[in-house]
Amino acid sequence: MVEYVRGAREVLQELRQYEPELFKELKKNMRTDINPIIKPIESQINSAVTSQLRGVRKAGMFHDGRSRWSGVTVSSRVGTGLKQLVWIQGKGKASTVGFEYMELAGIRRRPPRPVSKGWNETGIGWRSYIVSGQGDGMIEMLKRFGKPGRFLWKRVITRRREIEGKVLDIAEGYNVKVNRKLG
């Protein structure tokens, strides 16, 4: 069960406005305390997945383009959104999107199109391409890792209680600091 900190958004916005140094310190401490939890997740994904994908790469399934697997970088940040106090995000290394594609590959609301949606070129004409099935092949290969959300999401969920506990401890500590400043 996710615990929501009521009023956290308003408090963080006011803290950012009236006590910017304390807000920066809070963000830094959140990241510092959560990093020991998320960095092992990052290394686990990079080592386990990369070793299993090596054989597939030789089979011609992957390439050296922008959508290649190059590993993942996991980071956290403090947000001032409605419900989220901490964001945990994974991105492909070296400006690639392979991690993002492979993390969510297989989520479909409808069957794939036989021909892509078209787009207008800046030059003359309308462009589209015939869908070749490479995406379906990638999804089949990725089934060995589980359902979509197969890398980062499932590992973060298994450590959710630990992450929530750290966040709540830090938030409580800053609650005391803010109360002392106001008192």
Going residue by residue through the chain (183 aa), what tens digit of pLDDT does each one get? 345 556 677 777 888 888 888 888 888 888 899 999 999 999 999 988 777 776 665 544 566 777 788 889 999 988 776 667 788 999 998 888 888 988 998 898 888 888 888 888 777 778 888 888 778 888 888 888 889 999 999 999 999 999 988 888 887 887 777 666 766
Q: How many CA atoms lie within 13 A of 26 on its CB side?
A: 28
Q: Angle of helix 20-58 relative to helix 160-182, nearest 10 degrees? A: 170
- Phi and psi for 28 in degrees, rounded to 5? -65, -45
Those residues whose C-beta lies under 8 Å from the C-beta of residue 115, and which sit 6 or more positions away, are 128, 129, 130, 131
Q: Is 7 helix (H, G, I), strand (E, B) or coil?
A: coil
Q: Which pLDDT does position 60 carry in this prediction?
A: 46
Q: What pTM was estimated for this model as a whole?
A: 0.77
**Sequence-ordered alpha helix ranges (H) in the chain:** 8-18, 20-58, 98-104, 134-142, 152-158, 160-182
